[in-house]
Amino acid sequence: MATHHGKEGVVTSAGTEIGKVTGYTLDTTHDTVEDTTLSDATKTFLAGRGTFTGSIDMLYDETDTPQTTLLTGTSLAFIFLPEGNTTGDESFSGTGIVTSMSISVPLDGVTTRTVAFQGTGALTIGTVS
């Protein structure tokens, strides 16, 4: 089983790599609905609708065009590449709406930006070609 170092990860937005990314999280969930009947001894469920959400952490860079497009309410096409951007690497792609954007300016540290998004539609799992 392969393991990967975080330094391999890449995120693109609208087809361009987002600069100075320090980490990201991609969460997928699927609703369930109960279909238990009175005669069942245990509960049973059906798979419902799925969704995905996530966040991207980066060093603040006002000159990085992809960073400047990450504004709340904006719908963007994202590709998450946890292994890197080499042929055969796994990719997760979809469209997300930016739901929050925060900038942190510490007294003795580097200024950072964090954005959160809500996926809309399907998350596609594939490979880099």
Q: Under a CB-based contact definition with an 8 Å cutoff, are residues 30 and 75 in contact?
A: no
Torsion of CA 53, 12, 59, 82, to 10 degrees: 70
Query: Which structure tokens are listed for 98?
Result: 């930016």
Alpha carbons 22 and 81: distance in angstroms, whole number:
13
In a domain, 70, yes or no: yes
User: Does residue 35 lie within any of the structural domains?
Assistant: no
Does some domain include residue 1? no
Domain-embedded: residue 20 = yes
Asked whether residue 37 is assigned to any structural domain, the reply reads: no
Q: How many independent structural domains does the chain possess?
A: 1
- What's the pLDDT score for residue 2? 83
Q: What is the mean pLDDT of residues 36-63?
A: 97
What does the alpha-carbon distance between residue 89 and residue 129 come to, in Å, rounded to a whole number? 8
In this prediction, residue 9 carries a pLDDT of 93
| Whole-number average pLDDT of the chain | 95
The pLDDT value recorded for residue 110 is: 97
- pTM here? 0.89
CATH code at 95?
2.40.10
In a domain, 41, yes or no: no
In this structure, is residue 23 part of a structural domain?
yes
Q: Is residue 38 part of a domain?
A: no
> Is residue 76 within 8 Å of 14, Cβ to Cβ?
yes
Structural domain harbouring 20: 6-28+47-127
Give per-residue pLDDT as tens, 60-106.
999 999 999 999 999 999 999 999 999 999 999 999 999 999 999 99
- Please report which confidence band the pLDDT of residue 24 belongs to, taking 50, 70 and 90 as the band edges: very high
Reply yes or no on whether the pLDDT at 1 is more than 80.
Answer: no
- CA–CA separation, 115 vs 101, rounded Å? 4
